[in-house]
């Protein structure tokens, strides 16, 4: 699964422009994280079609776009599970670039995890995820 990182000017309407660009091309957003840092707006997005999303987003003026591999990890939905999962990663020396919820049900939560590129194999091994 790919995470698309969009960096734009932190101004009114930046997220609306990103959402419209994706919606207008029929790309559904599966998960999104949005935050401001200095004068920049950073959007981390997982979609149903990353190739089409990147093509649509690259047409927006003044944005920088990056793609990175992520893994989705399903864990029991109860207190302490995130701590257990991140401790496994830390114990293996995995550095995380991002992590956010993709879906949440009564019994489980799925999180998107983007380890540093050099740590992807270690992260998958630590979490028991097969390639």
Instruction: Please tell me whether residues 7 and 59 are part of one structural domain.
Output: yes
Average pLDDT along the chain: 95
The torsion angles phi and psi of 15, rounded to 5 degrees, stand at -70, -40
Examine the domain organization and report whether 80 and 121 are in the same domain.
yes
Joined tokens for residue 124: 């998958």
Same domain, 61 and 101: no
Say if residue 64 is in the same domain as residue 85: no
Q: Which CATH number do you get for residue 59?
A: 3.30.2130.10
What does the pLDDT look like over 74-117, one tens digit per residue? 999 999 999 999 999 999 999 999 999 999 988 999 999 999 99
Which domain, by its residues, includes 112?
71-127
Residue 131 has pLDDT above 80, yes or no: no
Helix axes 81-91, 120-127, angle to 10 degrees: 130
How do 108-115 and 96-104 pair as beta strands?
A: antiparallel
Q: What is the pLDDT of residue 30?
A: 93
- Long-range contacts from 113-119, C-beta under 8 angstroms, 24+ separation: 113/70, 113/71, 113/72, 113/73, 113/89, 114/3, 114/44, 114/68, 114/69, 114/70, 115/71, 115/89, 117/68, 117/69, 119/93, 119/94, 119/95
Domains identified in the chain, total number? 2
Looking at the fold, whether 56 and 75 belong to one and the same domain comes out as no
- Residues 86, 45 share a domain: no
How far apart, in whole angstroms, are the C-alpha atoms of residue 49 and residue 37? 27
Indicate the residue among 68, 85, 102 that finishes a domain: 68
Assess whether 63 and 76 both reside in one domain: no
Residues 6 and 64 in one domain: yes
| pLDDT recorded at residue 130 | 86
Task: Examine the domain organization and report whether 25 and 56 are in the same domain.
Answer: yes
């Amino acid at each position: 699964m790919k995470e698309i990182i969009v960096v734009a000017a932190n101004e009114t309407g930046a997220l609306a422009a990103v959402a419209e660009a994706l919606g207008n091309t029929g790309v559904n957003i599966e998960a999104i994280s949005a935050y401001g840092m200095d004068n920049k707006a950073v959007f981390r997005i997982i979609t149903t079609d990353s190739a089409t999303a990147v093509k649509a987003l690259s047409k927006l003026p003044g944005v920088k776009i990056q793609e990175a591999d992520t893994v989705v990890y399903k864990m029991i939905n109860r207190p302490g599970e995130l701590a257990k999962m991140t401790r496994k990663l830390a114990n293996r020396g995995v550095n995380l670039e991002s992590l956010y919820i993709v879906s949440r049900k009564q019994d489980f939560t799925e999180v998107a995890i983007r380890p540093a590129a050099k740590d992807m194999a270690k992260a998958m091994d630590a979490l028991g995820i097969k390639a």
